[in-house]
Amino acid sequence: HQKYFPLENKGGDLLPYFITISNIKPGPGGEIQRGNERVLRARLEDARFFFEEDRKKKLEDFVDLLKGVTFQKTLGTLYEKVNRIVALTEFLATEVCPNKTQHASKAAWLCKADLVTQMVYEFPELQGVIGSYYAVHSGEDPEVCLAIKEHYRPTFSGDDPPSSPVGSIVSIADKLDTILGCIGVGLLSSGSEDPYGLRRHSLGIIQIVLKQEWQVSLGKLIEKGISLLKEKIKLTPDEVRARTLDLFSQRYKTLLSDQDYPYDAVDAVLSADIDSLVDVKQKVIAFSDLKKQPHFEPLAIAFRRVVSILNEEADGDVQIRLLKEPAEKKLYNEYQRIKEPVENYLRRKQFPQALEKIVEIKETVDEFFDHVMVMVKEDDLRINRLRLLKHISLLFSNIADFSKIVLK
């Protein structure tokens, strides 16, 4: 409250000294110094009292008190939120590090308990931090204690994500539940207004997943989170899912653009697929490198031509017997030649190699359009040619949407 500067030694340890600023010329009696010390001493004595009173109970004993604290009027109490965080935590832990499930579940159960302690009531900035100390005092595992301390991170721009897998899991579960719940009841961020920090939470989840390099399905996480909210949300699951993915896409676009990747390369990749947040980053890197090549622009033109002609008739298998023209036979053979290698590269997350292989079909695509009329009157020929082009588009559609590329 008094805006003191605490002092540390070179090792980062807190010293029993402080600095304060006064715009009054000090007198010879040291009244300003003594007055500030008196105020600070009283604050520290209050803190000591709250600390000692809180520690008369175990941290777990505070969890039940969360039933009396409202998180959001439609979404219920903090106790209900904690139960959702636990369920999401256990689901995510089994996906990314099953051996940490037990510790992650316990950390999730305790992560909000300090919100009803006397210490946090008086010093709200200590949420999470004091909870970790109380967890140590309660005899919890060190991994659980650290996760409680770190699960709010990152809390601001430039803040580090949690350092541990357990803290990362709980942090994602907490943030995603807030995002889904707020979107589900219509509390969307707009303009500069974001009272529930949905943009910050979604960016935080992206940063955590990238740091941990977890191959986890964002779609599956969202589905699990929506199922836990059930009747509390007003929007349909499809609406919540679509708006949540759009939020993640917007924040990821900002993150990648700030790292100087071409904006249209970022758009192209994000428009194709965002399910694996780790893959998105790797695809953007690979696609940005491809974009620097001299042959990229004619390649993009060819593939945009493939995508632009497709319609609802394009779904289905190619009938080899209906391939009449030499150019379409050649295109089909080229497709068969590169299909398996491309799929193997994609399966192994080797996106640069996959793109390099896809490039090989470019000249055959050009030849096809030069010599074959796709939209002919004969239904069987037209549909078969559209299906051939659709199969070719599927080779690159999981990496990027070429229609988003800005050409000179």
Q: What is the pLDDT of residue 293?
A: 87
DSSP 160: P
Neighbour-count burial of 109, counting CB atoms closer than 10 A to its CB (0-12 exposed, 13-18 middle, 19+ buried): buried
pLDDT at 191: 67
- DSSP output for 20-40: ---SS---TT-HHHHHHHHHH
Separation between Cα atoms, residue 310 and residue 387, nearest integer Å: 8
Question: Under 8 Å CB-to-CB from 104, ≥6 apart: which residues?
Answer: 89, 90, 92, 93, 147, 165, 166, 169, 170
Mean pLDDT by 10-residue block, N- to C-terminus, for the chain (408 residues)? 87 94 85 90 94 96 96 94 98 96 98 97 94 97 98 91 97 97 87 82 96 96 96 93 95 92 92 93 93 87 88 91 94 95 94 92 93 92 94 89 82
Are 149 and 169 in contact, with CB atoms under 8 Å apart?
A: no
- Give dist(CA 369, CA 363) in Å, integer: 10
CA gap 156, 53 in Å, rounded: 31
Alpha carbon distance 408, 406 (integer Å): 7
212 phi-psi bin (left φ>0, alpha ψ -120 to 50, beta other): alpha
Q: Could you give the dihedral angle defined by the CA atoms of residues 7, 11, 14 and 18, in that order, rounded to the nearest 10 degrees?
A: -10
Q: Give the dihedral sign, CA 372/373/375/377.
A: negative
Q: What are 301-335's pLDDT values in tens digits?
A: 888 888 888 888 899 999 999 999 999 999 999 99
* Residue 337 CB burial class (10 angstroms; 0-12, 13-18, ≥19): middle
Predicted TM-score (pTM) of the model is 0.89
122 Cβ contact list (under 8 Å, min separation 6):
46, 47, 50
Measured CA to CA, the distance from residue 83 to residue 85 in angstroms comes to 5
176 contacts: CB under 8 Å, gap ≥ 6: 88, 201, 205, 221, 222, 225
- E strand or H helix that includes residue 272: helix 263-272
pLDDT for 2: 67
Q: How many helices (H) and strands (E) does the chain have?
A: 17, 4
pLDDT at 402: 85
